[in-house]
Structure 1
Amino acid sequence: MKTYFYLLQFSILFFCLSTTIKTEASGSLPRISVEGNRFVTPDGETIIFQGVNFADPDRLVKEGQWKRDLFRVARDWGSNIVRLPVHPQAWRERGKEDYLILLDQAVEWAREFDLYIIIDWHSIGNLRTELFQHEMYKTSLPETYDFWLTISRRYADEPIVAMYEIFNEPTTYQGQLGSLTWDQWADILTDIIYVIRANSPEAIPLVGGFNWAYDLTPLMYAPLNVPGIAYVSHPYPQKRDQPWIPQWERDFGFAADDYPIIATEIGFMQPTDRGAHIPCIGDEEYGRTLMRYFRDKGISWVAWCFDPDWSPQLIKDWNYTPSRSGKFFRDVMLGKENLDE
């Protein structure tokens, strides 16, 4: 009788644990996929993403700001997605297993507030020559393959981790970081996507073009021969002079006719703001013009950065007081900004 009692207890415990695991893995958000030039839910409904970038989770831990409230306030601002920039240096220094604990926390907090996640391998430079713009961005092809192997295995069954941004901002920095042709870059990207898809078949890889992920003109003649992907642009205000729209259309917007486009970094700031730098100097005129253009083209976007130090800043402090650009993008997400004025 005692043995039966213990077996019954074990069966109940196993059932509870199994139910918990299943519930946590299923989440409350549907899996997103690519259909033509749209992001869609399983029932075919188009979804336009809008949201904010956080700072690197490793940095936020060190600042004492890696917390549930980040996700709550992002949702309160109207976000339906957040982007997590993982710097190679931080990935190495914290260690793979400890860093994955942070990403697991992000998934749980995002689930609580119905937010999707982009995981971004946040390097800037030339992955072929392995020359980069700063020490924090230094990586290698083997490390990049291993990162995406790890991430794609870890989150293969997690629809909240909707997109994998393969490499933040490819650039040769006017030749200072060596040469990189589109064909060479496409080969590297395709190999990485094969690794991701072998482990996470339903993942949506994000592909950025040249000029710090602004320029998608190579898609006119040589798009990647890989289905189910989306492309990225970072159209900060000073990437082009006015008039912006004809140049945006030529540089990246044309691609939205055939592929899903998500601008994973946008934003503006004033010349006197802390950390002000090219190409981010701008104002609400840029913001409204860009938001109208995105609306008309069906382009998704994620504003940079939900942090009081990383510019252009969306918040002034850790009370989440919106900056000038933060107020603008928050009001757009909440439907309070009249874009047609």
Structure 2
Amino acid sequence: MVSKKKKFGAFIFAVIFSIAIVGGIFGVCYYKGIVSYPWQIKNVTSADNTIAFSKEETVSEPEEVVVEEKPEVKPSVETEETKPEPETTVEEPETTEEEQDVDFNSLLSEDGIANTGVKLDYYGALSVSDGKLVDSHGKEVQLTGISTHGINWFPEFAAPETIASLRNNFGINVIRLAMYTSDYNGYCVGGSDNQKDLMDKICSAVDAATENDMYVIIDWHTLNDENPNTYKAESIQFFGEMVRKYKGNDNVIYEICNEPNGDTTWSDIKSYAKEVIPVIRNVDSDAVILVGTPEWSSDLESVQDDPLNFKNIMYTYHFYAASHKDDARAELESALEAGLPVFISEYGLVSADGNGSVDTKEAKKWYDLIDEYKLSSCIWNLSNKDEGSALISADCQSTLDWKYEDLSDEGKYFFDKLSEGNKTGNDN
């Protein structure tokens, strides 16, 4: 028989052995994270205010992962996004019109003044030969510029410093001075003091254009008086004074009637021109003279059938891109092909009433035609009047050295068109 002492010893050994086995199993489980001691568990309130349990290890581990991954991932993403952009810009800077516009708009001087980077040529004395405007060597030339609004409305935009700014920043080589005859204190309706004031403004602007190597068009701006014969006597007196003052200038061009309209026929205009032109020719035998045409200077067909018999004469054609489209271009092109000398002394990129938005599609077609035939032209109008055809934004009070954002939509389109000369290296 086994003694009690031996039985007790065997029992103690069995208990110790069992505890060792259980402890070993629990230790392995704890090491592997399968179980936790009660004092290592804490209460966590979830978003819906219920009690959840989480281990300290599981809270700290995500924080460590986030901290380690951020500095590695973020720089690599930024580098991949920014690298292709400069490569594309360098290799294909002219692939789209949108990219070109960005390039044009960045043409600013150091002080933020918009500058096309272009300065169009001054050719000296001009004449008309075989339906073309040419220089003293018989080489065809092209004038590109701006028409003021009526100087009796917006005289500040015909100031000498404004004209100098246009030459320096826009680079244009011609300015048209629009002097209304009957509208808003026009030359023929405002009295003698008004006449003297307007003539002084014209002379000041002509002198400024001359000093800046620009051509200048003195525009007898017929409009609501419709028929130029209405104020023929005043016209003869005015142009007589102008030509005597500027007979020695190679840069002065005379536009003897702006836009005959209403019932005015080419016969009416021709009769008027045959009396006014000799007044200029008697003093300056070579000056270029522009003659308006019927229907707001858009009817060239009637002129082709019965042109004037004077040298150095050009006929004006006006268009507004949003109103005058394929048919108008076809009529102009027909006249040009027939050899009629045409000068676009006024045009706009909006509707014919001077309002609306820029018709970019039609504007491009018109500019393509102008460039194809090397037509000289002046865009309407230099003012901040609240209308689509004004080149300066209505909320801009500056009269010179404009920033790009100071320009209207038409002003920006024209500025960008001029800037193409800088981009292509072609001044005309």
- TM-score normalised per structure 1: 0.75
The residue number in structure 1 matching 2:413 is 328
- Cα distance, 1:338–1:262 mapped onto 2, change above 3 Å: farther
User: Among residues 223, 226, 231, which one is paired with 1:126 in the alignment?
Assistant: 226
Distance in 1 between the 2:336 and 2:355 partners?
Answer: 23
The residue number in structure 2 matching 1:38 is 132
User: Among residues 157, 160, 164, which one is paired with 2:254 in the alignment?
Assistant: 164
- Cα distance, 1:195–1:239 mapped onto 2, change above 3 Å: farther
- Cα distance, 1:337–1:217 mapped onto 2, change above 3 Å: farther
- Cα distance, 1:238–1:129 mapped onto 2, change above 3 Å: farther
Distance in 2 between the 1:74 and 1:80 partners?
Answer: 9
Distance in 2 between the 1:117 and 1:288 partners?
Answer: 26
- Cα distance, 1:208–1:279 mapped onto 2, change above 3 Å: farther
Report if aligned partners of 1:149, 1:195 keep a CA contact under 8 Å in 2: yes
Q: State the AA in 2 paired with 1:72.
A: A
Distance in 1 between the 2:303 and 2:335 partners?
Answer: 7
Q: Quote the offset at 1:304 in angstroms.
A: 0.6
Distance in 2 between the 1:164 and 1:310 partners?
Answer: 29
The residue number in structure 1 matching 2:160 is 68
The residue number in structure 2 matching 1:105 is 204
User: Among residues 87, 91, 96, which one is paired with 2:187 in the alignment?
Assistant: 91
What secondary structure, in the 3-state scheme, does the structure 2 residue paired with 1:56 have?
Answer: coil
Report if aligned partners of 2:259, 2:294 keep a CA contact under 8 Å in 1: yes
Q: Following superposition of structure 1 onto structure 2, how do residues 244-283 of structure 1 map, counting pairs within 5 Å?
A: 244-250=325-331, 252-257=332-337, 258-269=339-350, 277=353, 282-283=358-359
Give deviations 1:216-248, integer Å, cap 9, x for gaps: 1113311122221011111112543xxx33532
Unaligned runs of 5+ in 1: 1-27, 131-139, 173-178, 271-275
Q: State the AA in 1 paired with 2:127.
A: S
The residue number in structure 1 matching 2:275 is 191
Distance in 2 between the 1:59 and 1:91 partners?
Answer: 12
- Cα distance, 1:218–1:280 mapped onto 2, change above 3 Å: farther
What secondary structure, in the 3-state scheme, does the structure 1 residue paired with 2:136 have?
Answer: coil
Give deviations 1:143-190, integer Å, cap 9, x for gaps: 1221121222221111121x1111111001xxxxxx433223212112
Distance in 2 between the 1:269 and 1:280 partners?
Answer: 6
Q: Following superposition of structure 1 onto structure 2, how do residues 219-258 of structure 1 map, counting pairs within 5 Å?
A: 219-240=303-324, 244-250=325-331, 252-257=332-337, 258=339
The residue number in structure 2 matching 1:155 is 246
Q: State the AA in 1 paired with 2:174.
A: I
Distance in 2 between the 1:44 and 1:65 partners?
Answer: 34
User: Among residues 349, 365, 373, which one is paired with 1:289 in the alignment?
Assistant: 365
Q: Quote the offset at 1:49 in angstroms.
A: 0.8
Distance in 1 between the 2:123 and 2:358 partners?
Answer: 35
What secondary structure, in the 3-state scheme, does the structure 1 residue paired with 2:248 have?
Answer: coil
Report if aligned partners of 2:265, 2:294 keep a CA contact under 8 Å in 1: no
CA RMSD of aligned residues (A): 2.6
Report if aligned partners of 1:32, 1:39 keep a CA contact under 8 Å in 2: yes
What secondary structure, in the 3-state scheme, does the structure 2 residue paired with 1:120 have?
Answer: strand
Q: Quote the offset at 1:292 in angstroms.
A: 0.2
Report if aligned partners of 2:176, 2:218 keep a CA contact under 8 Å in 1: yes
Which is further off, 276-285 or 68-77? 276-285
Distance in 2 between the 1:293 and 1:58 partners?
Answer: 33
Distance in 1 between the 2:256 and 2:228 partners?
Answer: 14
Q: Does 1:206 align with 2:290?
A: yes
User: Which structure would you say has the larger Rg?
Assistant: 2
Q: State the AA in 1 paired with 2:163.
A: F
- Cα distance, 1:36–1:102 mapped onto 2, change above 3 Å: same
Report if aligned partners of 2:226, 2:260 keep a CA contact under 8 Å in 1: yes
The residue number in structure 2 matching 1:57 is 151
Report if aligned partners of 1:268, 1:282 keep a CA contact under 8 Å in 2: yes
Q: Does 1:318 align with 2:397?
A: yes
Give deviations 1:290-329, integer Å, cap 9, x for gaps: 0001111221110011111174111112333211111111
Report if aligned partners of 1:83, 1:302 keep a CA contact under 8 Å in 2: yes
What secondary structure, in the 3-state scheme, does the structure 1 residue paired with 2:367 have?
Answer: helix
Distance in 2 between the 1:91 and 1:235 partners?
Answer: 25
Give deviations 1:82-139, integer Å, cap 9, x for gaps: 0001122443534444433322221232123221100000121432673xxxxxxxxx
- TM-score normalised per structure 2: 0.61
The residue number in structure 2 matching 1:304 is 380
Distance in 2 between the 1:160 and 1:167 partners?
Answer: 19
Q: State the AA in 2 paired with 1:315.
A: I
- Cα distance, 1:281–1:209 mapped onto 2, change above 3 Å: farther
- Cα distance, 1:112–1:282 mapped onto 2, change above 3 Å: same
Q: Quote the offset at 1:278 in angstroms.
A: 6.3
Report if aligned partners of 1:52, 1:82 keep a CA contact under 8 Å in 2: yes
Which is further off, 109-118 or 28-37? 28-37
Q: How much identity, in percent, do the aligned residues show?
A: 24
Distance in 1 between the 2:370 and 2:423 partners?
Answer: 14
Q: How many residues align?
A: 285
Report if aligned partners of 1:152, 1:199 keep a CA contact under 8 Å in 2: yes
